[in-house]
């Protein structure tokens, strides 16, 4: 059987939802709207879908791939404007009359979730929030939600999410996959944190949705709102604002840094070092577990290419070990080097809260260099990672960085560590 899906085009009443992706690809409780519809139609026996897309069809095609995941054939048809159901039905029924779904469901405009046409999504931000909130129990009971668990009545948590024992989760609330919740944070009631979200310590979120890959900073209060990247929308009034302070709200985008951090030779070396030192990494993990600690501490860093004090910044999540000190504490960051998001040598990562403390253009040069596993401040054995001396070294490196300086920093760092180890052994 066949069907036609019409992806929603422009919806001025909820335009902020479509800033980074078409409405068909906006996350709804861990899945895109299009994903819900494909699953629904497959369950009804549909095997061939014409997908009419007027908003960023290439992005939809890239997300969809070959459609084999759903075991169906999906043809993405770019359109200059969003056709009406009558126009789509006339276009496709005129060519082929056999094999279509019976009844009015053969042509569908994705303005609602499957089986819920009485709850339109895009009339207002309030409709969007209420519909998703009411969809929570149905989404949680779906058989394809692998790894989703109900911590207590009305509180659902997805796979690989880390929640501080000191955090408070108030039902109903939904924590997606790969979410980080900081200490003493309060989540709920009627709150959704989509996949990849990060909520800082002592934050409070209620009657709100935190979008996918969105960072909510420490001591931040979000109520009656939709937080998406650096955009905050009051769903009650429809008022939309951009939050310029990245330590309060910003995007945790997943694109790879296009700087020297991505040099293939450095990435290959990082992977090799990780493999060779894997026993040390396992020792650090076991040491943390033996102390009853989490082996890894998640941290947030500002990406270097977003080095502006007034514009929104992108950020990324990285980790360090909790039970060891020195270089071994940074061992998990070798994976970031291997992925091309860190360099071997650069400036050390800064959290959004610390980055906003860079007070002038000279200090903000810190963010002009790649994030490094090692830094010039390390080579100079600076006592504090963010003191005045460290800021000067970071700015100097951003201006004068080249391969000779990188090699000098690496040789001095390993030389210093060798000297320290020797002097310690001498004292023994």
Average pLDDT over residues 7-36: 94
Six-digit token pair at 97? 């009359």
Dist. CA 27–CA 190, nearest whole Å: 17
Helices 264-276 and 278-290, packing angle to 10 deg: 60
- Confidence bin at 265 (pLDDT 50/70/90): confident
- pLDDT above 80 for 323: yes
Collapsing DSSP to helix, strand or coil, 52 comes out as: strand
* In contact, 170 and 190? CB cutoff 8 Å: no
Supply the pLDDT for residue 30. 93
pLDDT band at 79 (very low <50, low <70, confident <90, very high): very high
- Report DSSP letters for 105-120, one per residue: GGEEE-SS-TT-TTS-
Question: Is pTM beyond 0.85 here?
Answer: no
- Asked if residue 278 has pLDDT above 90, the reply is yes
> Does the pLDDT of residue 163 top 80, yes or no?
yes
Tell me: the pLDDT tens digits for 208-245?
999 998 989 889 999 999 999 889 999 999 999 998 87
Structural domains in the chain?
2-123 (3.90.550.10), 134-249 (2.160.10), 260-427 (no CATH)
Instruction: Name the more confident of 308 and 271.
Output: 271
Q: How far apart are CA 331 and CA 420, in angstroms?
A: 19
User: What number is the average pLDDT over the span 253-257?
Assistant: 45
Question: In the predicted model, what is the mean pLDDT of residues 35-51?
Answer: 90
CA-based nearest residue to 350, from 325, 314, 381, 324: 314
Instruction: Please check the confidence at residue 101 and state whether its pLDDT lies above 80.
Output: no
**C-alpha closest to that of 56 among 75, 87, 79, 26:** 79
Supply the angle between the helices 57-64 and 33-43 in degrees, to the nearest 10: 60
- Rounded Cα distance between 318 and 335, Å, is 9
Report the percent of the chain where pLDDT is more than 90.
51
Looking at residues 191-209, what average pLDDT do you find?
A: 94
Q: Band of the pLDDT at 312, cuts 50, 70, 90?
A: very low
In this prediction, residue 100 carries a pLDDT of 52
Chain position carrying tokens 């969105």: 214
pLDDT at residue number 245:
77
Q: Please name which of 264, 329, 339, 261 lies closest in space to residue 295, comparing C-alpha atoms.
A: 329
- What tokens appear for 5 in the block? 């899906």
Per-residue model confidence (pLDDT) at position 105: 57
Share of the chain above pLDDT 70, in %: 89
Cα 202 versus chain centre, distance: 20
């Amino acid at each position: 059987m066949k069907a036609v899906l019409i992806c929603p085009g422009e919806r001025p009443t909820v335009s902020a939802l479509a800033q980074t992706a078409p409405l068909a690809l906006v996350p709804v409780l861990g899945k895109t709207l299009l994903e819900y519809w494909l699953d629904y139609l497959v369950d009804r026996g549909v095997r061939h879908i014409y997908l009419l897309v007027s908003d960023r069809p290439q992005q939809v095609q890239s997300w969809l791939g070959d459609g084999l995941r759903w075991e169906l054939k999906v043809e993405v048809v770019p359109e200059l404007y969003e056709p009406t159901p009558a126009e789509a039905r006339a276009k496709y029924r005129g060519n082929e009359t056999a094999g279509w779904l019976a009844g009015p469901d053969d042509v569908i405009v994705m303005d609602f979730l499957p089986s819920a046409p009485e709850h339109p999504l895009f009339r207002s931000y309030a409709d969007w929030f209420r519909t998703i909130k009411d969809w929570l129990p149905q989404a949680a009971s779906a058989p394809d939600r692998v790894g989703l668990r109900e911590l207590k009545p009305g509180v659902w948590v997805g796979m690989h999410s880390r929640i501080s024992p000191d955090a408070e989760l108030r039902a109903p609330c939904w924590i997606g996959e790969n979410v980080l919740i900081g200490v003493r944070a309060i989540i709920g009631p009627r709150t959704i944190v989509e996949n990849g979200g990060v909520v800082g310590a002592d934050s409070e979120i209620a009657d709100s949705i935190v979008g996918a890959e969105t960072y909510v900073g420490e001591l931040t209060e979000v109520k009656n709102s939709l937080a998406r990247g650096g955009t905050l929308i009051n769903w009650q009034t429809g008022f939309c604002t951009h939050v310029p302070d990245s330590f309060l709200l910003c995007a945790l985008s997943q694109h790879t840094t296009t700087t020297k951090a991505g040099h293939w030779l450095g990435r290959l070396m990082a992977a090799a070092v990780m493999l060779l030192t894997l026993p040390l990494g396992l020792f650090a993990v076991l040491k943390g577990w033996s102390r009853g600690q989490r082996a890894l501490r998640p941290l947030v860093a500002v990406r270097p290419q977003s080095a502006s004090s007034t514009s929104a910044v992108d950020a990324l999540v990285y980790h360090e070990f909790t039970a060891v000190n020195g270089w071994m504490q940074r061992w998990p960051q070798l994976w970031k080097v291997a992925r091309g998001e860190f360099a071997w040598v650069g400036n050390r990562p800064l959290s959004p809260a610390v980055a906003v403390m860079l007070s002038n253009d000279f200090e903000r040069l810190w963010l002009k260099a790649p994030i490094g596993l090692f830094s010039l401040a390390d080579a100079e054995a600076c006592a504090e990672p963010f003191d005045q001396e460290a800021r000067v070294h970071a700015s100097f490196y951003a201006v004068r960085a080249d391969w000779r300086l990188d090699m000098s920093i690496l040789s001095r760092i390993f030389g210093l560590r060798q000297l320290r180890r020797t002097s310690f052994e001498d004292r023994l």
